[in-house]
């Protein structure tokens, strides 16, 4: 990738990061207000998974084939955007808020080129699901996470089909928050489809 392309990418990442931050804060504010006076809380950046990969055991053959840095790796994991916690049952539902551009009216198809929704798919990995279920006390077959999509991706004809395909029978665990000034839909989705998992 050339200098000019990298420069453009930096601008795009700055724009994307700024808008993603706004999307995440809006989600927090809505649920912080919704949970007032209840046993539920929303926690930003829960860090219980920040080291989960550090102690993954590898067979000797793999260990001999990979680079071993001179200093031990002490931090390697993930940090979800939020956890919704029941302070009585200690059950947790992990939340990722993904804001992404998309192909909508007046934009070229290439406007849907982002991969935030693809990166969210790591949460479907069997090993990660098992770890999140253990910490969150969410039993199978329910998923221990909820992904909330915002931005033009929620209206992109290609990306919306991908999301529905990937989640298949687990549609309770994603929400297309098309208008974040409208909160009744997302609150109703949580209350009717996910809240019971925390009790």
Average pLDDT, the chain: 91
Q: Please, what is the Cα angle at 161 between 155 and 165, to 5 degrees?
A: 145
Give the pLDDT confidence of 50-69 residue by residue, as tens digits. Answer: 999 999 999 999 999 999 99
pLDDT of residue 10: 52
Q: Average the pLDDT over 165-191 and give the result.
A: 96
Distance (Å, whole) CA 164 – CA 147: 12
pLDDT of residue 18: 52
Distance (Å, whole) CA 125 – CA 55: 17
Give the pLDDT confidence of 11-64 residue by residue, as tens digits. Answer: 444 444 455 567 679 999 999 999 999 999 999 999 999 999 999 999 999 999
Distance (Å, whole) CA 68 – CA 34: 47
pLDDT of residue 140: 94
Least confident residue range of 56-65, 87-96, 111-120: 111-120
Helix segments in the chain, DSSP class H:
3-34, 60-65, 116-119, 126-136, 157-167, 184-189
Distance (Å, whole) CA 56 – CA 34: 38
Which tokens sit at 39? 């046993």
**Backbone φ, ψ for residue 97 (5° rounding):** -105, 115
pTM of the model: 0.87
Which tokens sit at 92? 């947790």
Which tokens sit at 19? 């808008």
pLDDT of residue 95: 98
Computed from CA positions of residues 79, 80, 82, 83, in that sequence, does the dihedral angle turn out positive or negative?
negative
pLDDT of residue 24: 76
**Which domains can be identified in the chain, with CATH numbers?**
3-198 (3.40.580.10)
Distance (Å, whole) CA 167 – CA 180: 22
pLDDT of residue 3: 54
Q: What is the layout of strands, in order, in the sheet containing 82-86?
A: 40-44, 82-86, 92-99, 145-150, 174-177
């Amino acid at each position: 990738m050339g200098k000019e392309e990298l420069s453009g990418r930096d601008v795009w990442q700055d724009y994307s990061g700024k808008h993603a931050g706004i999307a995440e804060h809006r989600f927090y504010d809505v649920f912080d207000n919704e949970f007032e006076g209840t046993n539920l809380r929303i926690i930003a950046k829960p860090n219980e998974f920040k080291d989960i990969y550090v102690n993954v055991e590898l067979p000797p053959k793999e260990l001999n084939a990979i680079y071993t840095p001179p200093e031990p790796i002490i931090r390697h994991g993930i940090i979800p955007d939020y956890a919704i916690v029941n302070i009585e049952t200690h059950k947790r539902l992990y939340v990722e808020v993904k804001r992404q551009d998309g192909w909508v009216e007046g934009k070229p198809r290439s406007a849907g080129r982002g991969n935030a929704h693809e990166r969210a798919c790591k949460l479907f990995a069997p090993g990660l699901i098992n770890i999140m279920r253990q910490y969150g006390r969410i039993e199978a077959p329910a998923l221990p996470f909820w992904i909330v999509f915002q931005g033009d991706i929620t209206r992109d004809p290609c990306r919306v089909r991908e999301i529905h395909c990937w989640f298949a029978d687990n549609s309770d665990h994603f929400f297309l928050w098309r208008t974040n000034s409208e909160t009744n839909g997302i609150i109703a989705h949580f209350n009717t489809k996910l809240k019971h998992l925390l009790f």
